[in-house]
Chains A and B, each alone.
Chain A
Amino acid sequence: MSGGLKIAFICPRYRAGSAGGAETLTREWAERLARRGHRCQVLTSRSRSNLSWENELPGGQEEMDGVLVRRFDLEYSPPLPGKPQPVGRLLETPSSPALQAFIRENLETFDRFVFAPYLFGLTAPGIAATGKKSVLVPCLHDEPGAYLPGVKAMFAAAGRILFNSAPEEKLARALAAFPPENAAVVGLGIEPPEKISADDFRSKFGLPRPFLLYAGRREPGKGIPLLVEYFRALIRHRDPGLDLVLAGSGEVELSEADRGRIRDLGFLEEADKWNAYAAADVFCQPSTHESFSIVLLEAFAAGTPALVSARGEVTREHCRLSGGGLWFSDYPEFEEAIWHLRENPPTARALGAAGKAYVERQYRWEEILPRLERALTGEPEKEKRDER
């Protein structure tokens, strides 16, 4: 590509501790595009927490790995104590009048304004202000907020829409009208480290027994309470001799009785996380709210078979297309799938190998980045996609 684009990425949080999918995607895209000669800035908030949205980090600007990061104050109206945020306000709060003013003052400075995700109060007004220059990365999944009338308007107004997966695009088409030529599936590259060691992980954390792994944010919306409850039922009724290892940020409610068979390792460093994927006998992704599922693809990349919720369109599609995993729609299927993998090691190995091959084929940065550049510049897409 001749001559770099000047791109502003707008994301509610950025490099502020534990990261969700939209933050991870923004960081990977911004830093990698900057290394390819594009001038990238990130417009974000001073917040660390996606629950309290407090302005904790210093404001102003700083250079981080080739990307200029500008932090603005957020305004946030919390819900009533003990209540979730009303669905009707999910596209409004938190907001940042200062960030929106910066966008309006710099409409001519940038070639593209990339907004992720569709939720919260930065994206809808930002897209309205930037029109054809706007690029929406919705990170959409089937949840109440996706059905708000404002979502339709947002998709109609966005200059370009970049999806993380084909099922996400399919859901968006069911919810909103937008020209097909304005949309593309891009996603993220998955790059395992050169050295991954299952033995290092087992010895470092004292895990000699086979285990089922969950890694990622531990929030009720991610299905963790359901996974813990399924696992308790599994060892109570038909114990397959597996432990459950939970890794990631957030709290998990475990009883003393759980702790013999469920290990909560909390947030893991990058190297430990990859070693954990390799050491796990099965990786479980119970979340139904994924537009991409980085952790599932990382587990695939480590050669580990997966078990996902059948209600998660995106994760089930990854498993179906890759042959890298199985899915469950209720407890009996969960139990039977675990037993199937335990009793058939060659099948488990074949699933692991198929998942790994899928990631190597579909999610290499060498292919993703040119696809992203074409999508940002509006060039026609010639994407390779697995289909069965």
Chain B
Amino acid sequence: MTLSIATGGIDPEAIMAEIRARVEERKESGGYRAYDLAAVRARELDNIRIDYERLSDCLPDLWRTANVDLGDFPIPAKTPGLGVPVAALKKVIWKLLKFYTFRLFSQQKEFNARAAVLLQAVILRYEGRLAELEERIGRLEKRDRRE
């Protein structure tokens, strides 16, 4: 792969750093205090809602992997004849390795459960934030109507 460096004589990252610094300055000096951004926040909320829905979609799958059964399971012979000794060999290997695989699988299950709990917590925080923002927007809209 041939790489070429695009400089163009201008650095947008540096301009953005300058812009962010000016935003911070204005925030500190109360430059946005008089702003009415209720409608803007409502639109930004739409984007948060999309993220929230995506997280919610993932949770059932994660719980399914956390609830997987680690107990013994039948190892049937898939074909007659050679299939029977192959299945017997698999059973022996399963039993021989169980001291190790059980530890491995239970650790994974534990990890999945913790990840599910963590995701659940994130979703709850999203829900809380959504509710809080919706309430705030409602308050601001009421105030606007009064004015």
Contact = CB atoms under 8 A, between A and B. Distances in A.
Contacts of B110: none
Contacts of B35: 233, 237
Interface stretch (A191-199, A241-249, A332-340): A332-340
Interface of A is mostly: helix
Contacts of B1: 381-385
Interface string B24-65: 001100001011110110111011001001100110010000
A226 B50 CA distance: 14
Interface of B: 1-13, 15-16, 18-20, 22-23, 26-27, 32, 34-37, 39-40, 42-44, 46-47, 50, 53-54, 57-58, 61
B19 A87 contact: no
Given A226-B46, A347-B15, A385-B1, A322 B36 contact: no
B23 A336 contact: yes
10 nearest A-B pairs in the assembled complex, by CB-CB distance: A354-B8, A323-B8, A386-B6, A226-B43, A323-B10, A332-B23, A350-B10, A229-B43, A336-B19, A144-B54
Nearest to B8: A354
A144 B53 contact: yes
Interface string A215-235: 000001000011001101100
A387 interface: yes
Given A323-B6, A358-B6, A351 B12 contact: yes
A353 B8 contact: yes
A388 B3 CA distance: 10
Contacts of B34: 237
A147 interface: yes
A230 B43 CA distance: 9
A68 interface: no
B23 A326 contact: no
B141 to A, nearest CB: 13
A332 B23 CA distance: 6
B10 A229 contact: no
A252 to B, nearest CB: 13
25 contacts: A144-B54, A147-B54, A147-B58, A226-B40, A226-B46, A230-B43, A233-B39, A237-B34, A323-B8, A323-B10, A323-B12, A324-B8, A332-B23, A333-B20, A336-B26, A340-B18, A357-B6, A357-B8, A383-B1, A384-B2, A386-B5, A387-B4, A387-B5, A387-B6, A388-B5
B6 to A, nearest CB: 4
Residue from B6, B7, B43, B50 whose CB has the most chain A CB atoms within 10 Å: B6
